Amino acid sequence: MNLLIFTPVLPEIAITIVSMFLLIIGVFKKNEKTYSTISNLAILSLLVVLFLIFSGSVPKGVSFGGSLITDSFSLYLKTLILTSSIIILIVSNIYLRNINLLKFEYIILVLLSVVGMMIMVSSNDLISLYLSIELQSLPLYVLASIRNKSSKSTESGLKYFVLGALSSCILLYGLSLIYGYTGSIYYNEIASNLSEYDVGILIGVAFTLAGFAFKISAVPFHMWTPDVYEGSPTTVTAFFAVAPKIAALGLIVRILITAMPNLIADWQSILILLSIFSMLLGAFSAIGQRNLKRLLAYSSISHMGFALMGVINGSFDGVRSLSLYMLIYLVMSLALFISIIALKTNDEHIENIEDISGLAKINPVMALIISILLFSLAGIPPLAGFFAKFYVLYAAIDAKLYYLAIFGVLSSVISAFYYLRIIKVMYFEESAISFDPISKRLKTIIYLLTAITLLFFLRPSIFINFAGTASASLFI
Amino acid sequence: MLYSSIVFLPLIGAILTGLFGKTIGARKSELITSTLVAISALLSWYVLLNVGWVNGKNDQVIVILKWLTSGALDLSWSIRVDTLTAVMLVVVNTVSAVVHFYSIGYMHNDPSRQRFFSYLSLFTFAMLMLVTSNNFLQLFFGWEGVGLASYLLIGFWHHKESANNAAIKAFIVNRVGDFGFALGIFCIFYFFGSLDFNTVFSNASDLVDKKINIFGYSISAISFICFLLFIGAMGKSAQFLLHTWLPDAMEGPTPVSALIHAATMVTAGVFLVARCSPLYELAPSVMSLIVFIGATTAIFAASVALVQNDIKKVIAYSTCSQLGYMFVALGVGAYQVGIFHLFTHAFFKALLFLGAGSVIHAMSNEQDMRHMGGLRKFIPKTYILMLVGTLALTGFGVPGLFGMAGFYSKDAIVEAAYVSSISIGSYAFTMLLVAALMTSFYSWRLIFMTFHGTPRASKEVMSHLHESPNIMLIPLIILVIGSILSGYAFYDSFIYAGFKEFWASSIFILKDNYILKELHDVSYLIKWSPTIMMIIGVTFAYYLYIRNPHIPQKIAKDQEVLYSFLLNKWYFDEIYNYIFVRPAVLVGKIFWKRGDENIINRFGPDGISKQVVKITKKIVQLQSGLIYHYAFSMIIGLTFIITFYIIVGRGS
């Protein structure tokens, strides 16, 4: 057997082996330092893999008989997933130490989940799709409840697990219907067998999309999100908010574009509904939140609604706008989450909006950075968030879905309210509490991400071309 | 470079003192602006000599900067130099320089002098932009610029409510005129496809036969354009019906009244019509309208001035009346005479205003002439200045021999009205003659009430009575010279033998327009008639205010209706208040209370934000925290999607 056929999936294989190896170390060498050793090794191996992908050493092509595909699109998404997990692992190192939760399993779980996500964006048939989703989800259920002494954390893990199982059922049922009506599990064969219009296949598509919608927490399959976000440790929340979303969106885009291009009129109407509901509900609900993590949960729901707009048209421009959206969303929301992690009062991490009132007087730099990030999330030009929204709205208008664009703008206006309210609280309200100093490593990451947000407009072409090459590979 | 410095030196002064006035201090601000404008004034005289007599080079256009290019619209910031512009440059800069220096004395107690001088210089710059423009849009820019400066300066003492109201009134009334002006500019662009003076004027004759349809009436396009432009001119030059803002504008500091509301800005309308002479020559019907409005303004304002007691109001109405004279001259086709009167009038009217300012200064800000009297002995220098101004205004002189400035220019207008062939010419002639009598009467009444007789002021005021400082008096010498000599010296070039060479192509007249030659050939009776009217006026004034000072009150009592009619300025303010202001306020209230608050706010911002909060509360309640609720929502969502799908069917 020629081993070279495995090179396209070498990153996944490498990370799997590393995680097994680290698990063994962890089990046999249990002492104080174990956590940092394992963490550093994990970060190092992820960095190596990221470098391999980035340098173009990973060949493109299909493997496992067509089950997995490695192309520019999957590599692009893998880059995003790896980048976010590396950042998360670095931050976790500091955060977990702080809340006294140095469990080495945390790292193994993150790694395994990352493998799942990487396979998700590479999956090219229904079996690998389902298995990768499960591989991605199972570690996340555990991660949500990793703080097993906190009832909130265990509760959130349980909720996530039960509802995740339900969504898996829905997804699996949908997939089996698709298989039943097309007689194939491979995307390209599904596409060629799908020429005839049939109600059965449509119901299969609807079920499948409902299952995916749970993963990207689109309304009305979003109910778990606020509770899980609130209950999980903040680094886990940040991880939830970014990496699985990217992976799931990549998976949705691939299956819709390559397996069901003929059914565009059908899945389009479902996605429009999901998109509008998500944008509006995300915007409205966030207004009523006091807890920052819950607020960000709703904010991410709203953002997923926006991102979905990109795929609705099924066009290259749309997918490119979505890819760009994911990149910018990653930068903005990670920066914001890390800023929240960075702010502590007497070793207590802040939770609520009131906790940062008057921040501008105590720590003007952080207040300014948070303001920039919030403005960017609200889509104020010339920050990166504006471009993200601009391109997806443009895609919607390009598809002549004007009402969708109008809903997008409306919800953007509504969501501007709660972003601005946080800024108001920071700048115009008095505060009696002081904040602990912020570690240098966190500061560097925050500054870096904020700088990208702030300076994106100088050379947007760098990122747009990046997203463009990736999306183009879906339309060959 | 020469022309650019004339225009931009005042702007530099305005910017420097406006932005950095606090840092460089009041004294330096005064000196910087005054010096820069004075340099501008000297250069202007040089330009006038050069363009008018020595060189004779007319129609130079210096392009400074490309402004905008959009389709057929191609505009530049440029300076057009011809005789008309040169004359205006001299008027504007000379008076402005005098007023700047005068203000150093007049405003010496004011805490925000920097602002005042910055505004003055800004005004000067805008006025220069106006007179040097080579296209209608730059003209409009200057037009609005002077309007803004006028607004700022009328309301300079913004803590006074009356000053604010006057400033707003001036701005709003001018809006009516500017609306017409703007429409005129649109029409010009529509018909000519250009806003450039040369293009428009050289193609004007093509438009004579063109008709446009307005509300079912067929109107000559060129007349329509001229009419609209004249509306603009009426607003800026405070002509009958749009005059109401000018007397109120006297709320501003007196130097402002002298500069803006006597010598320069209010003459912009006259300048506009003269500049557009190639258009107006082709619109005889509008010319008749101009004559009618001008003559009516002259008599109306003069009649009101007869009974006013505020020293500045008298001069303000006098200005209004004199502007009417100028428009009559324009209307009968004697543009040169109109500009000549503008030129001489600037000197003596500024002199009168600044003299009145000196009186007010001396009287501790008292403006009511009933509380003055007998000031001749206390402020003799001011008395002499005022006397010169009055003699110049009333047109003192002996025909064929010598006269003050107004004698040449005003009498020429009366004669032009007489020889004019248009049907309304005789109306104008009569009105102007009567107005000349009234002018003489109210001017001398002012002198007699202020400087003669027994002092009527309180003891306290009398004890403070002092002559103005030299900084206020010396600049006025220039105006005195202008008031005495400008008529005699420039008569020949402006409107007599040398007028063709002097004006060259800057003012266009039709081939069969001989009015400038004819007006010199009138009979002796006509030539003497203004002078006779002037003498009658003086006699009346002398009889009523020196010999029998108690009679005026008796007349006022006997003729109460007429008296209050004049005192209340023909009730124009009251009528406008009733016809325009109150309905406008009413309509505004409806839109504000019912439209904005009850409809837009209720269903708009307020309503939406309330709804958002409501929706938010409901949605947050959905998040119960119970897992079976969540699962239920998922199932419901799935069912909904599939149902929607089956009922609505495929999407787009």
Q: Which amino acid is at B77?
A: W
Q: What is the pLDDT of residues B171-196, one digit of tens each?
A: 999 999 999 999 999 999 999 989 99
Q: What is the pLDDT of residues B300-340, one digit of tens each?
A: 999 999 999 999 999 999 999 999 999 999 999 999 999 99
3-state helix, strand, coil in chain B (%, to 5): 75, 5, 20
B27 at interface of A, judged by CB pairs closer than 8 A = no
Q: CA–CA distance from A23 to each of A12, A29, A37 (Å)?
A: 16, 10, 12
Q: How confident is the model at residue A257 (pLDDT cuts 50, 70, 90)?
A: very high
Q: Which helix (H) or strand (E) holds B67?
A: strand B60-70
Q: What is the pLDDT of residues A17-43, one digit of tens each?
A: 999 999 999 988 877 788 889 999 999
Q: CA–CA distance from B82 to each of A138, A295, A451, B269 (Å)?
A: 89, 71, 58, 18
Q: How far apart are CA B129 and CA B67, in angstroms?
A: 14
Nearest Cα residue in chain B from A167: B634
Is the alpha carbon torsion for B75, B79, B83, B84 positive or negative?
Answer: positive
Count A/B contacts: CB-CB distance under 8 Å. Answer: 87
pLDDT at A197: 67
- A190 in a structural domain: no
Q: How far apart are CA A115 and CA A10, in angstroms?
A: 11
Q: In this structure, what token pair is assigned to residue B596? A: 């904005």
Structural domain total, chain A: 1
B636 at interface of A, judged by CB pairs closer than 8 A = yes
Q: How far apart are CA B433 and CA B295, in angstroms?
A: 10
B551 at interface of A, judged by CB pairs closer than 8 A = no
pLDDT at A170 over 60: yes
Q: How far apart are CA B94 and CA B536, in angstroms?
A: 34
Looking up tokens 């405070």 gives: B238
pLDDT at A238: 95
Q: Is the peptide bond before A382 cis (omega within 30 degrees of 0)?
A: yes
Average pLDDT over residues B124-134: 94
Q: How confident is the model at residue B455 (pLDDT cuts 50, 70, 90)?
A: confident
Shortest distance between the Cα of B595 and any Cα of chain A, in A, equals 24
Shortest distance between the Cα of A270 and any Cα of chain B, in A, equals 7
pLDDT at A313: 86
Percent of chain A surpassing pLDDT 90: 71
Q: Is B423 helix (H, G, I), strand (E, B) or coil?
A: coil
Mutate: best of B611, B614, B629, B630, partner A, most A CBs <10 A:
B630
- A322 in a structural domain: yes
Give the count of beta carbons closer than 10 Å to the beta carbon of residue B489.
14
Asked if B80 contacts B197 with a C-beta cutoff of 8 angstroms, the reply is yes
- A144 in a structural domain: no
A435 at interface of B, judged by CB pairs closer than 8 A = no
Q: How far apart are CA B530 and CA B341, in angstroms?
A: 15
A392 at interface of B, judged by CB pairs closer than 8 A = no
Nearest Cα residue in chain B from A411: B612
Picking from B615, B644, B652, the nearest residue to A273 by CB comes out as: B644
Average pLDDT over residues B242-256: 91
pLDDT at B650: 59
Q: How far apart are CA A240 and CA A109, in angstroms?
A: 13
Mutate: best of A227, A269, A400, partner B, most B CBs <10 A:
A269
Cβ distance A284 to B640 less than 8 Å, yes or no, reads no
Average pLDDT over residues B423-434: 92
Cβ distance B645 to A202 less than 8 Å, yes or no, reads yes
Q: How confident is the model at residue B652 (pLDDT cuts 50, 70, 90)?
A: very low
What are the beta bridge partners of residue B65?
B77
pLDDT at B58: 66
Percent of chain B surpassing pLDDT 70: 99
Looking up tokens 């749309």 gives: A318
Q: What is the largest CA-CA distance in chain A?
A: 70
CA B149 to chain centre: 11
Mean pLDDT of chain B: 90
ipTM: 0.90
Query: Taking phi first (over 0 means left), then psi (-120 to 50 degrees means alpha), and beta for anything else, what does residue B372 get?
Result: beta
Long-range pairs for A377-383: beta carbons < 8 A, 24 or more residues apart: A377/A299, A377/A303, A377/A332, A377/A333, A377/A336, A377/A415, A377/A419, A378/A412, A378/A415, A378/A416, A378/A419, A378/A420, A379/A412, A379/A416, A380/A416, A381/A457, A382/A457, A383/A453, A383/A454, A383/A456, A383/A457
Q: What is the pLDDT of residues B549-591, one digit of tens each?
A: 888 888 888 888 888 888 888 888 889 889 888 998 999 999 8
Cβ distance A159 to B613 less than 8 Å, yes or no, reads no
Average pLDDT over residues A90-108: 91
Asked if B99 contacts B479 with a C-beta cutoff of 8 angstroms, the reply is no
Q: What is the pLDDT of residues A341-354, one digit of tens each?
A: 999 888 888 889 98
pTM, two decimals, is 0.67
Asked if A129 contacts A215 with a C-beta cutoff of 8 angstroms, the reply is no
Residues 101-140 of A with CB under 8 A from B: none
Percent of chain B surpassing pLDDT 90: 54
A416 at interface of B, judged by CB pairs closer than 8 A = no
Mutate: best of A223, A266, A302, A308, partner B, most B CBs <10 A:
A223
Q: How far apart are CA B317 and CA B331, in angstroms?
A: 21
Asked if A202 contacts A169 with a C-beta cutoff of 8 angstroms, the reply is no
Q: How far apart are CA B228 and CA B561, in angstroms?
A: 36
Average pLDDT over residues B245-257: 91
B608 at interface of A, judged by CB pairs closer than 8 A = no
pLDDT at B601 over 90: no
Picking from A162, A207, A223, the nearest residue to B633 by CB comes out as: A223
Q: In this structure, what token pair is assigned to residue B260? A: 């803006």
Q: Is B128 helix (H, G, I), strand (E, B) or coil?
A: helix
Q: CA–CA distance from A429 to each of A434, A444, B392 (Å)?
A: 14, 28, 69
Give the count of beta carbons closer than 10 Å to the beta carbon of residue B209.
9
pLDDT at B112 over 50: yes
Q: How far apart are CA B612 and CA B618, in angstroms?
A: 10
> Which residues of chain B does A221 touch, with a Cβ-Cβ cutoff of 8 Å?
633-634, 637
pLDDT at B17: 92
Asked if B507 contacts B336 with a C-beta cutoff of 8 angstroms, the reply is yes
Domain of residue A357, residue span: 276-476
> Which residues of chain A does B644 touch, with a Cβ-Cβ cutoff of 8 Å?
269, 273
Nearest Cα residue in chain A from B652: A265
**Nearest C-alpha neighbor of A302 from the set A412, A420, A214:** A412
- A168 in a structural domain: no
Q: Is B520 helix (H, G, I), strand (E, B) or coil?
A: helix
Nearest Cα residue in chain A from B609: A414
Q: What is the pLDDT of residues B26-69, one digit of tens each?
A: 899 999 999 999 999 999 999 999 888 887 666 788 888 888 78
Give residues with Cβ within 8 angstroms of A240, minimum separation 6.
Answer: A140, A144, A228, A229, A232
pLDDT at B611 over 50: yes
Cβ distance A268 to B630 less than 8 Å, yes or no, reads no
Asked if B499 contacts B83 with a C-beta cutoff of 8 angstroms, the reply is no
Strand ranges in A218-377 using DSSP code E only, listed in sequence order? 344-345, 348-349
Q: How far apart are CA B650 and CA B60, in angstroms?
A: 72
Q: How far apart are CA B594 and CA A358, in angstroms?
A: 40
Looking up tokens 């799997």 gives: A16
Looking up tokens 């990217």 gives: A246
pLDDT at B512 over 90: no
pLDDT at B311: 93
Angle at A207 between CA A201 and CA A210, to 5 degrees: 140
Give residues with Cβ within 8 angstroms of B516, minimum separation 6.
Answer: B334, B336, B337, B416, B495, B499, B509
B640 at interface of A, judged by CB pairs closer than 8 A = yes
pLDDT at B410 over 70: yes
Q: How far apart are CA B32 and CA B18, in angstroms?
A: 12
